[in-house]
Structure 1
Amino acid sequence: MKVKGILLTIISAIIFGFTPALASITYGLGNNSLSMTFYRNFFAIPFLFLILKYKKIPLKINIKEVKDIFILSLIGVVLTTALLYSSYSYIGIGAATTLHFLYPMFVALACMFIFKEQLGRGKIISLILALVGVAFFMDLKSNGNMIGAIMALISGLTYGFYILWIDKRNLIKMNPYKLSFYVVTFSSVEMLIGNIFGGYIKLNLPIKAYILIIFCSVLASVVGIVLFQMGISIIGSTSAAIFSLFEPITSVVTGVIIFDENINLQKLLGCIIIFISITYLAVNKGEKNTEVVE
């Protein structure tokens, strides 16, 4: 397991754990979750285009890549973000986070039963510890709404699909900036169509909201996505899913720093257990990596 892949995945997880706080601030300024999903992808397009031009990376892709990226963006990005952001309106963030972060289990199960991969002892132990840690984030007082719970759970399934689709459809071989450019472009078009028909898009927002949206877009849809895709290409889908569990830890820290939220013993224990599971996986170098990473 390579240190570079681990670090890239962890940094992307920290970014993804921080940006929802920025998104939530824009909601108070008139934005909403579905509009935010569109803007997060749309504003990333020019930044990624300029990067591709600067690095002289050709934009040409074949028909197979177009189909794969369309499916990836629709299921892995649009559905994941829209469902997770929307679930916050029905259940507490703690409960939604818990259900969403069951995706490492979905990835591992898919690798074992669909792709017939053998997970080593270290990954199995790390996965179990991580799931125990995630359980400590559950807000039992806010999990009564079935609609929100289903949304958060499906967002975990679709995010697990995102991780596996990049790995197993060989999209990891594509330049990460190029892949990200097409992912955000396809996602923007898909969300724009959905927002127009649904009437969710918000145009008349204050300057402060647009500044936060652009900042969030660059962090999540440019830097975060590129780093995560690079991490998957190095360490594989299952390991990337486990190391991305730094995201809920970051969310807790962000809540304390930005919103002055109180961190209770339950969440603190969850952070510690997740950190132990990730550390165990990182130092378990003696285990043979049985994931197929092409």
Structure 2
Amino acid sequence: MNTKVKGYILGAVAAATYGMNPLFTLPLYKEGMNPDSVLFFRYLFAIPILGIMLKARGRSFSLKRKEILPLVILGWLVAISSLTLFQSYNYMEAGIASTILFVYPILVALIMAVAFKEKITLQTVLCIFLALSGIGLLYKGGDGTTLSLVGVGLVMASALSYAIYIVGVNRPILKDVATLKVTFYVLLFGLSLFLVRVDFGQSLHVVDKWYLWGNLIALAIFPTAILGALEPVTAVFFGVTIFGESLTPRLCCGIVLIILAVTFIIAGSNITTHLVRFRKLFPRLPIKKKGH
């Protein structure tokens, strides 16, 4: 198996794991945990894991003064994105929420056009139309009821926050910072938001069953900030097979339209460079030759 094929496989696995968010989160909600408590533990457990990875790769934890404020802002953006997504699970089926979230690359393209004067092509316009058509098909749930406007608003806020993060993390001020270090500090600063929201531990919900701790640890390990084309598919799969969420032909068409729209906009746009930064998360380690 050549390196390129391995890269595609690893990228697909990384993308699919983000769809495991509902798999580990919904059982915690069932036991009375709220999004703030779940995300507090998710970030708390993920930080030392990333720290170990950072140290194992010989990376320094040091930051330049000019890099601190941008990383704080990016941390809050990611935390807001996580919070609004996890809150949306209380208003709609998790698979549908994850699919609507997937419009974030289109929002990246719009931000680049508005803020950085990049040209909006006909292909981008068509992709936006496809995505809106897909969301329109998803608007009415599988049981015939319409989606919660609050839920849709929360997911769109999550997608927008993540899109702004994607644009921000690729600005020149952070271009020389290793992606793994960026992720470490983004989670570290993002944790501060949840620390405040749980009243510095006063309103933190702590689970009392051992297997629920496994869910929290799994949330820290498997789903990461990496999103990809398999993410909504994975979320829908777990939603239907494990949590009994409905899946109709109309919903399938909506999901396919959104995935096609995002795939086309990534394939035919220079925002691809903004979306592949995660590939540097696992750089190839130098191999020492014998005798050196």
Query: Scaled by the length of structure 1, what TM-score is found?
Result: 0.77
Equivalents in 1 of 2:221, 2:7: separation in Å? 21
Structure (1 or 2) with the greater helix fraction: 1
Give the corresponding residue for 1:63: 65
Equivalents in 2 of 1:192, 1:99: separation in Å? 28
**CA spacing shift, 1:104–1:6, aligned 2, 3 Å:** farther
**CA spacing shift, 1:192–1:280, aligned 2, 3 Å:** closer
**CA spacing shift, 1:290–1:263, aligned 2, 3 Å:** closer
- The unaligned stretches of length 5 or more in structure 1 are 229-243
Deviations 1:201-229 (A, max 9, x none): 21243111111110111112xxx33x56x
Paired-residue identity, %: 28
- The unaligned stretches of length 5 or more in structure 2 are 278-292
Equivalents in 2 of 1:39, 1:268: separation in Å? 33
Q: 1:256 aligns with which of 240, 256, 276?
A: 240
Give the corresponding residue for 1:178: 181
Is residue 166 of structure 1 aligned with residue 180 of structure 2?
Answer: no
Q: CA deviation at 1:70?
A: 0.5
Q: CA deviation at 1:259?
A: 2.6
Give the corresponding residue for 1:235: none
1:132-151 superposed matches below 5 A: 132-139=133-140, 141-144=145-148, 146-151=149-154
Query: What is the DSSP-based 3-state SS (H/G/I as helix, E as strand, rest coil) of the residue aligned with 1:43?
Result: helix
**CA spacing shift, 1:274–1:157, aligned 2, 3 Å:** closer
Equivalents in 2 of 1:85, 1:194: separation in Å? 14
Alpha carbons 1:101, 1:134 under 8 Å: kept: no
Q: Which has the larger radius of gyration?
A: 2
1:117-156 superposed matches below 5 A: 117-139=118-140, 141-144=145-148, 146-156=149-159
Q: CA deviation at 1:152?
A: 2.9
Give the corresponding residue for 1:207: 210
**CA spacing shift, 1:98–1:277, aligned 2, 3 Å:** closer
Count of matched residue positions in the alignment of Structure 1 and Structure 2: 269
Q: CA deviation at 1:159?
A: 1.8
1:1-294 superposed matches below 5 A: 10-74=12-76, 76-93=77-94, 96-97=97-98, 100-139=101-140, 141-144=145-148, 146-168=149-171, 170-196=173-199, 199-220=202-223, 224-225=224-225, 227=226, 244-277=228-261, 280=264, 289=270
